[in-house]
Amino acid sequence: MSIEKKAMQRIEKEFKDMTSKDSLYSIGRDSNNLFKWNAMIQGPEGTPYAGGMFSIDIKFSKNYPFTAPKFTFKTRIYHPNINSEGSICLDILKDKWSPPLTVEKVLLSITSLLADPNPDDPLVGEIGELFNSNNFLFNQRAREWTERHA
């Protein structure tokens, strides 16, 4: 069986698993391309992202699950680990990826990242600095962006 066919089977299984039960995440996929999904995640309660709905594009490689899918925020967000292009700085999407990880586990990690940013390894340095130096102002800006964009 080809690597691409194995990837398609795994992707199909994960899609069925996530849509056949109550999931914290809303998942859709491109009807013409099994390798493109969209997820909607809610901003975690008790954070400046609470009340927001964030759209994330997910693109799988033909080598999935041996390479991480690409997760990209489509909804603008003010966060030290997510840049203006929607790229996410998260170790499991880079060097800590392993085949047992699933889309649902990554979305859970992204939700955790929203609740607990890592300003010491920021993708956007100035937002990381603000988080560390003036958390009140950081939270205020993050809340404003959530209200405006999410």
pTM of the model: 0.95
Cis, bond preceding 65 (omega within 30 deg of 0): yes
Cβ density class 24-62: b for 16+ within 10 Å, e for less:
ebebebeeeeebebebebbbbeebbbeebebbbbbebee
Residue numbers annotated as active site = 89
- Per-domain boundaries in the chain: 3-149
pLDDT in tens, 57-73: 999 999 999 999 999 99
Fold of 3-149: Ubiquitin Conjugating Enzyme (3.10.110)
Q: Is 26 helix (H, G, I), strand (E, B) or coil?
A: strand
pLDDT in tens, 14-47: 999 999 888 889 999 988 999 999 999 999 999 9
